[in-house]
Structure 1
Amino acid sequence: MTVFAQPASLKRPAVREHYEDTILNPVDLVNHADLLDAQVLQSLRDLFPSERAQLWGVTPGVGEANLPQIRKMRAGDVVFFSGNKRLYLVGTVALTWHNPALAHRLWGVDEKTDQTWEYMYALTGVRGIDFPMEEIRSLLSWKPKRNVQGFVALHETDGAILTDLVGFDDSAQGSPPPGPKDPSPPPFGPSDAAAAAQRRAEQGPLKKALLPGAEGECALCGRTLPRAFLVAAHIKKRAACSEEERWDLNNVAMLACLLGCDSLFEHGFVTVEEGGLLAVSPVAAGAPAVAKYIDEHLAGKSIAWWSTEREKYYAWHRSHTFQRGALTPDQVNT
């Protein structure tokens, strides 16, 4: 899986219009069947039974500078949209194809380059996020003024950090299976070893603070369960926490059960609103077994673990991990 950064500043009127026309309002494929190759149209219909899809595209660039990056993109890759000094949207690539005529119909041409966004892709699992660039620079150890300047495949490590923060599961994104296992994997580097040691140092006190006895209560579903079925789950992803936050043992984490609640929170199917009411992502409805579990164990819950001291961590989860739909330009611009 490759992770891409897609510049798309909604402060630019043309970009805002394109975003509203083909992301906020999915494209009706039937209306454009005349310009779609038969094989591409069938693939889109197979992927999107409603025959409506969220589409975006990339221009060739001056001197075809974008082509080396574009040629890396495959179904299952992840794209982060960048603009307004933040990453504000993420989705998974469902299909890629080349179609200048359709791109011209949907988006016209870029006045600066006289090119259209002809290298097209359809997205699935689109969700709004709020990652300020200051936070991205810190997390990825970028230089203080670095921004996403062009359509680009991110370094593998940077992509892994970002997808982990939004709760993407590589195996669920359509990525190809891994190749043969290297019988002699490289050892941890110094930074990896230090990070692993730090996590181990934190985990003991963290779990002891949350679960001093043989049983504990899941913060989400409220069931009392044996210790083996509960984990100390970070409300705000550990990788995004400051050193002070990582040791805020009474607030940065919560007990979550391994019977479903931990994974649902980790992957953004549920979150906790300010005040403690549990919120359910609209994407849960597309997974009947998930929706059934939520309906039986979580729907309508008021989370007693929520507090004003923990709210900043829950607020981070809502803006970074919770699976909500694409944000409106006004929501991104605030």
Structure 2
Amino acid sequence: MVFDEHADLLDAPTVDQLKQLFPDGSAPMWGVVPGKKDVNVSRIKKMRAGDWVFFSGDKRRLYFGGTIALMWRNKELATRLWGSDAAGNTWEYIYALSGTRGFDIPIDEIRTLLGWNPNRHIMGISVRDENDSDTLQTLLTLDPATAAAVPTDAENDEAAVFAFDGELERTAQRAQRGEQTALKKRLLQGSTGQCALCGRSLPGTFLIAAHIKKRALCSDGEKRDLANIAMLACTFGCNAVHEHGYVTVAPGGAVQVSPLAAHLPEVDAYIQQKLAGRILP
């Protein structure tokens, strides 16, 4: 949506926020209907600027995602943009999206990843908990994007800037990747090794046993397939650009660069200098 084309239906504070978030004057928009007897409203109220959002289609695939940059309610604007459904409702709970990108992920992989029933479908609007959201973000390599600040308790927030009186050390339990040590030992035969992506020979301290296929999507058998599931990747940038989806490797070994890299000059410069055009074994 181009903001100036609909300024007559936007209040001044909303226009100001949109233009701060999107200086080029436009943004992708989506909307949600209140639903019969306002069934969707309680779910909508759980959504906040900065939350991840994902879209599925035909009950088969996840095809799009991004970050909620700003949310507001505007029935007149929604009617102009999208019309009304058969019941006369429109998608009046509107949100602008930032950091969007396309996907092509079969819904079966999502069901497996999140531990869903094999026959479960995504229908209407569904708000997931933090664990599911973080898991999807890791799978789909979405990066944090521009979003409006969520209002906080101003007094407490200001105090937190100047002092922290909580515990500085906490005891925590977390799952460990049981195969990780064995994986690196297999890949790193001596004190130095070669990054599979850029080809540089480096001390082992700067090399990671990086999964070629995302570990979250691996079966137990694939996780145990130490000879084929991982590669050495350096901490100087190669592991990060691969993990976040800015590069991948085609079946013939050619490094492929995501068009998203062009939007991040520093990332693109690294890729062009170290990885673009390489053919890997």
Q: Would you say same fold, with TM above 0.5? A: yes
Name the CA shift for 1:182/1:95 in 2 (closer, same or farther; >3 Å).
farther
Contact 2:69 / 2:146 at 8 angstroms: preserved in 1?
Answer: no
Partner of 2:220: 243
Distance 1:300 1:99 in 2: 48
Could you tell me which of 127, 132, 135 is aligned with 2:101? 127
Q: Which has the higher contact order (CA 8 A, sep 6+)?
A: 1
Distance 1:274 1:34 in 2: 52
1:59-80 deviations in whole A, cap 9, x for unaligned? 0111111111111222110001
SS of residue matched to 1:209 = helix
Contact 1:77 / 1:173 at 8 angstroms: preserved in 2?
Answer: no
Could you tell me which of 122, 141, 147 is aligned with 1:167? 141
Could you tell me which of 54, 67, 79 is aligned with 1:92? 67
Contact 1:75 / 1:95 at 8 angstroms: preserved in 2?
Answer: yes
Where does the alignment leave 5 or more consecutive residues of structure 1 unmatched? 1-26, 305-334
Distance 2:218 2:114 in 1: 13
TM-superposed CA distance for 1:228, in Å, is 0.6
The correspondence of residues 110-259 of structure 1 with structure 2, limited to 5 A, is 110-111=85-86, 113-168=87-142, 188=173, 195-196=175-176, 199=177, 201-259=178-236
SS of residue matched to 1:274 = coil
SS of residue matched to 1:52 = coil
TM-superposed CA distance for 1:229, in Å, is 0.6
Distance 2:267 2:33 in 1: 39
Distance 1:183 1:71 in 2: 34
Distance 2:171 2:114 in 1: 22
Partner of 2:80: 105
Partner of 2:268: 291
Contact 1:269 / 1:283 at 8 angstroms: preserved in 2?
Answer: yes
SS of residue matched to 1:152 = coil
Distance 1:173 1:184 in 2: 31
Partner of 1:5: none
Q: Which has the larger radius of gyration?
A: 2
Distance 1:220 1:93 in 2: 33
1:120-160 deviations in whole A, cap 9, x for unaligned? 11111111122222222222111221111221210222222
Instruction: Kindly tell me the number of residue pairs found equivalent between the two proteins.
Output: 268
TM score, norm. by length of structure 2: 0.87
Is residue 80 from structure 1 mapped to residue 57 from structure 2 by the alignment?
Answer: no
SS of residue matched to 2:197 = coil
1:256-313 deviations in whole A, cap 9, x for unaligned? 1100111111111112223222122222222222122112111222222xxxxxxxxx
TM-superposed CA distance for 1:173, in Å, is 6.6
Contact 1:232 / 1:254 at 8 angstroms: preserved in 2?
Answer: yes
Distance 1:76 1:273 in 2: 33
Structure with greater helix share of residues:
1
1:191-237 deviations in whole A, cap 9, x for unaligned? x6xx52xx1x3112211221111111111111111101100111211
Q: Which one is further off, 254-263 or 290-299? A: 290-299
Distance 2:171 2:39 in 1: 34
Letter in 1 for 2:6: H
Name the CA shift for 1:187/1:297 in 2 (closer, same or farther; >3 Å).
closer
Name the CA shift for 1:258/1:43 in 2 (closer, same or farther; >3 Å).
same
- The Cα RMSD (Å) is 2.4
Partner of 1:301: 278
Name the CA shift for 1:261/1:274 in 2 (closer, same or farther; >3 Å).
same
The correspondence of residues 51-70 of structure 1 with structure 2, limited to 5 A, is 51-70=25-44
The correspondence of residues 303-318 of structure 1 with structure 2, limited to 5 A, is 303-304=280-281
Distance 2:126 2:167 in 1: 28
Partner of 2:258: 281
Contact 2:99 / 2:146 at 8 angstroms: preserved in 1?
Answer: no
Distance 2:245 2:253 in 1: 16
Distance 1:119 1:265 in 2: 36
Q: Percent identity?
A: 50
TM-superposed CA distance for 1:185, in Å, is 6.5
Distance 1:210 1:173 in 2: 39
Distance 2:169 2:121 in 1: 37
